[in-house]
């Protein structure tokens, strides 16, 4: 079983130095609790009292409105996946800063909060589900006794957990490392985007790997469910306003280019084709990004960036014969 713990503020989402190791920590030494659950993902939604950064006011409102509806638990029985979202009281989102060191008090409080969240499983699992929930919860409670007494010891523990996770990843193929549920995308999308690079959510140079591209893909996937015959640019017009811009052209140049490239590939991933307008706008943005990279002569990632842009451009040009023509 995999156990992921993520954090979310109104303008940031992903791994947390202190809190993300909690999942592997709780699983350690637990053995097999049953086959009905293969993955648990807990997302801690931090409180955000504001004020929001300029142009991000709507994101703060959306975050707080969603947070007020929590907790929420989703059990995808056929896939064995559990998603738990809770309104975390561990910290203010504005106090979330990137750090290489772990906080022992925060780790202890996080363990308590995550274990309490796991209790929500009682309302979702059936007696017929092959999972020993109470045994699992008892194991997690007992794990509290294993929490180190010093931050140095906690750092050592986290390093060991990461080393074990890395060893597991090293045994995977590049496709397996992505951890993608392919049922979320068009059946032919993987055949078209035939390199793991196009799907890598941890690669800033991948179309949907940077923060803008990742957020857009998730939002576009939700929007596409009820707008299958609508031009993708209509989605971006709406998203731009949600992000605090008056329209697409008012977006910062870098954000607009990231969004337009991400939109073209989101379209491919969900339709197995690309809208002509979305494709051309993305190609135009690639030209702008290439010019920036060429001008950055001393940038250590210059060649990596240029190679990524070449790969993205080549794939979009291949889509010339697989374009979707939408009318509204």
Please check the confidence at residue 311 and state whether its pLDDT lies above 60: yes
Please check the confidence at residue 270 and state whether its pLDDT lies above 70: yes
How confident is the model at residue 22, as a pLDDT?
A: 98
Average pLDDT value for residue range 245-258:
94
DSSP 112: H
Candidate from 48-62, 92-106, 196-210 with smallest mean pLDDT: 48-62
Give me 142's structure tokens: 């007992």
How many CA atoms within 13 Å lie on the side-chain side of 37? Answer: 23
pLDDT band at 327; cut points 50, 70, 90: very low
Task: Please check whether residue 38 is in contact with residue 130, taking contact to mean a CB–CB distance below 8 angstroms.
Answer: no
Which residue from 260, 275, 269, 262 is spatially nearest to 327, judged by alpha carbons? 275
Sign of CA pseudo-dihedral 207, 211, 214, 219: negative
How confident is the model at residue 323, as a pLDDT?
A: 56
Which residue from 48, 16, 22, 28 is spatially nearest to 112, judged by alpha carbons? 22
- Residue 264 to residues 175, 180, 216, 274: CA-CA distances in angstroms? 21, 19, 11, 6
DSSP 51: P
Please check the confidence at residue 24 and state whether its pLDDT lies above 60: yes
Q: Crossing angle of helices 253-271/232-242, nearest 10°?
A: 140
pLDDT band at 15; cut points 50, 70, 90: very high
pLDDT 10s digits, 61-75: 999 999 999 999 999
Give me 76's structure tokens: 């995808």
Long-range contacts of range 239-246, CB-CB < 8 Å, 24 or more positions apart? 241/58, 242/58, 242/59, 242/62, 243/55, 243/56, 243/58, 243/59, 244/54, 244/55, 244/56, 244/57, 244/58, 244/59, 245/55
Please check the confidence at residue 207 and state whether its pLDDT lies above 50: yes
pTM of the predicted model, to two decimals?
0.75
């Amino acid at each position: 079983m995999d156990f992921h713990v993520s954090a979310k503020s109104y303008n940031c989402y992903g791994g947390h130095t202190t809190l993300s190791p909690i999942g592997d920590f709780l699983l350690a030494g637990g053995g097999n609790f049953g086959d009905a659950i293969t993955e648990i993902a807990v997302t801690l939604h931090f409180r955000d009292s504001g004020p929001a950064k300029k142009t991000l006011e709507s994101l703060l409102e959306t975050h707080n409105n969603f947070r007020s509806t929590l907790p929420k638990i989703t059990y995808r029985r056929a896939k064995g996946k559990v998603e738990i979202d809770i309104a975390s009281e561990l910290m203010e989102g504005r106090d979330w800063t990137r750090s290489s060191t772990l906080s022992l008090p925060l780790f202890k409080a996080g363990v308590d909060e995550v274990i309490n969240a796991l209790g929500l499983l009682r309302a979702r699992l059936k007696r017929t589900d092959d999972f020993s929930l109470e045994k699992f919860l008892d194991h997690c409670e007992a794990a509290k006794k294993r929490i180190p007494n010093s931050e140095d010891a906690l750092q050592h523990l986290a390093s060991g957990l990461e080393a074990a996770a890395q060893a597991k990843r090293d045994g995977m193929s590049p496709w397996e490392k992505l951890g993608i549920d392919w049922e979320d995308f068009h059946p032919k999308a993987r055949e078209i985007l035939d390199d793991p690079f196009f799907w890598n959510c941890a690669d800033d140079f991948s179309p949907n790997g940077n923060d803008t591209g990742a957020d857009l893909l998730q939002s576009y996937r939700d929007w596409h469910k009820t707008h299958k015959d609508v031009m993708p640019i209509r989605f971006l017009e709406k998203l731009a306003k949600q992000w605090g811009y008056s329209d697409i052209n008012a977006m910062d140049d870098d954000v607009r280019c990231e969004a337009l490239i991400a939109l073209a590939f989101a379209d491919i991933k969900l339709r197995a084709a690309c809208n002509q307008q979305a494709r051309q706008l993305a190609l135009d943005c690639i030209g702008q990004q290439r010019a920036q990279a060429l001008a950055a002569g001393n940038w250590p990632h210059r060649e990596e960036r240029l190679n990524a842009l070449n790969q993205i451009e080549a794939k979009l040009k291949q889509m010339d014969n697989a374009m979707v023509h939408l009318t509204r």
